[in-house]
Structure 1
């Protein structure tokens, strides 16, 4: 009897529409949850793929940046080596006989003073302690030559070269012509045109050095900038009242 009732009850439960609907609802819910999880996993996979792709791009950009920095470092190293080679060549080209000497010459107001500019050594030797005061040697002074140079004492150096056969000064140029090596460039200088003493043209470096502690009102052999004067001097190519440049070249 018990088994018959139980079987009948089971048969009734299986044929119950409510039971079937509940089971279908549960299945649909499970399918919906699974579909949502699949969509979520798909979205996460896409995001991961995009992240990996972006990381790949960032890595490539970093590699490119590293290569560019390496090229820049190599260029800077090459430039530094070239500069060092140039400095070594210049040091080899010019051997100082003495440096940081004193520029000098005759006094600008004395008619009989010597014309040329002189580079005096920093360690003079004397043999006599007195003499006739006929010839005189004065120190050199800049006269409003370049910025902050007025009344500065003028230093100099005496050098020789064993790698060049010719050294020339070209007035009115700040570069050398083809085939010549640049030693330095600057401005042409001379004495004041209306002073009693004659002078000469010399080339002063564009960034001159000064003797420390030399600023005072004591004068001697003066260095003035030289301006072009149109007339017999053709303008153009020259320009009236422009300071002349100069360059020293070797070959």
Structure 2
């Protein structure tokens, strides 16, 4: 069945033919005739426009990333929300294996007794002898803040382990140190902690739930050079 707009077009053609006549003699259009033609042209224009895909403007384009260890985003990014890093307890055999950036204003569900507690806050596991250079030992046992950031005008985001600077054509959002769970615990993601990481607050709890340990490089299957044995692993989050 022909579309409605196609039927309207036929009506316009029929109208024009009736106005101009079959012998090609040109007749003058009355104001009401011209008004009807303009109305039909406007309708066809708007109906065609609705069928066309809308191209997002540059302001609508952007990427999101998590800034681990900070409550704020870099100056060139907008903050979506800030909160606390969390994840599954390091000793749990099942459940999630990734870290989460939990918002500070949750919409909590109802209490229930199902024994599958799998969401905990995350803590820095740092000591004077097990911390990357530049991070203070005072972060030990403190909870980890985080911020979800949106960078306008970018289409790609990438965390690069082993580097503190981005490759040509990419821009660094922040740099820091690669961290994850301890190798004797159940696995978690590798994440990039900000090189100027801060505690969530002044509380020290040592609850040993989801934990952030610095990662070091180990030569062998990891080629050295270019890597170096027993060194802290740098990282950077880049956008393009």
In the superposition, the TM-score normalised over structure 1's length comes to 0.61
Matching residue of 1:224: 213
Matching residue of 2:239: 250
The 2-side partners of 1:127 and 1:212 are apart by 25
Matching residue of 1:102: 84
Matching residue of 2:203: 214
Report how far residue 204 of structure 1 moved. 0.3
Computing the radius of gyration over CA atoms, which structure comes out larger, 1 or 2? 1
Which aligned segments of 4 or more residues in structure 1 are displaced greater than 6 angstroms? none
Structure with a larger share of its residues in helix: 1
Q: How many residues align structurally?
A: 159
Say which SS state the counterpart of residue 134 (structure 1) adopts.
coil
Residue 171 of structure 2 is aligned to residue 181 of structure 1:
yes
Say which SS state the counterpart of residue 115 (structure 2) adopts.
coil
Matching residue of 1:142: 124
Higher relative contact order (CA 8 A, sep 6+): 2
Q: RMSD of the TM alignment (CA)?
A: 1.3
Report how far residue 158 of structure 1 moved. 1.2
Identify which range, 207-216 or 181-190, moves more after superposition.
Answer: 207-216
Alignment deviations for residues 95-140 of structure 1 (CA, whole Å, 9 cap, x no partner): 21112x0100000111113110000000111231224121410101
* Change over 3 Å in CA distance of 1:94–1:131 after alignment to 2: farther
Identify which range, 213-222 or 164-173, moves more after superposition.
Answer: 213-222
Residue 176 of structure 2 is aligned to residue 193 of structure 1:
no
